């Protein structure tokens, strides 16, 4: 990762297979796969396909799921933007 770049997420697109395409301001695109986490802790809420798809958003400047649907960034599930940016780039699908 470039030290002078703070990953800025500009768009997230969830997919039915529990992956999310994450688009960064510098043009990088990554695919985040939630499947390995669906049986663990807070991620269990995302097993429900509708919840996964409907609550996926950008909060706290990163990929998040607004589980409470109240726009409360203290109750969301979010992924560190640096963690996302470190994933391998993918082609847009």
DSSP H stretches of helix in 15-92: 49-55, 81-85
3 domain-assigned: no
Closest by Cα among 49, 68, 50 to 59: 68
2 domain-assigned: no
4 domain-assigned: no
CATH of the domain at 77: 3.30.2020
pLDDT in tens, 32-53: 999 999 999 999 999 999 999 9
State pTM to two decimals. 0.90
1 domain-assigned: no
**Which residue segment(s) compose the domain that 62 sits in?**
9-85
pLDDT in tens, 58-76: 998 899 999 999 988 888 9
Average pLDDT estimate for 86-92: 93
Number of domains in the chain: 1
């Amino acid at each position: 990762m470039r030290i002078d770049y703070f990953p800025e997420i500009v768009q997230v697109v969830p997919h039915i297979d529990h992956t999310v395409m994450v688009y960064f301001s510098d043009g990088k695109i990554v695919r985040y796969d939630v499947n390995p986490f669906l049986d663990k802790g807070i991620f269990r809420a995302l097993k429900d396909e509708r919840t996964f798809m409907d609550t996926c958003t950008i909060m706290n400047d990163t990929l998040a799921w607004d589980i409470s649907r109240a726009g409360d960034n203290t109750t969301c599930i979010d992924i560190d933007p640096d963690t996302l940016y470190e994933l391998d780039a993918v082609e847009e699908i």
